[in-house]
Amino acid sequence: MIIGDPTLYSPKYNFTQTPLCNYPETVTVTDLPAFAFHNVNSSKFEIPQTENLTLDGIYTVTLRSEIQVPTDYTKT
């Protein structure tokens, strides 16, 4: 992205369970800069258009998905 570009939307990310167990998934994002937004419902990120040159740089963000597996395999 270049300073002054229109608002940037990421492609939708997706995590999969293999085999598919349909356990509830919790997605966490850490170290997201204050000027960027994470929409957990759409599984996308947004970086609004800006002319602020002080934001120029490289940012490392961690995206993590976790599931809670029951201790009793017969439970769904």
For the whole model, what pTM was predicted?
Answer: 0.71
For the chain, give every domain's residue range. Answer: 8-67
To which residue do tokens 């000027």 refer?
35
pLDDT tens digits for range 9-29: 999 999 888 888 888 889 999
Average pLDDT, the chain: 87
What Å distances lie between residue 1 and 23, 26, 39, 66, CA to CA?
36, 28, 19, 29
pLDDT over threshold 60, residue 76: no
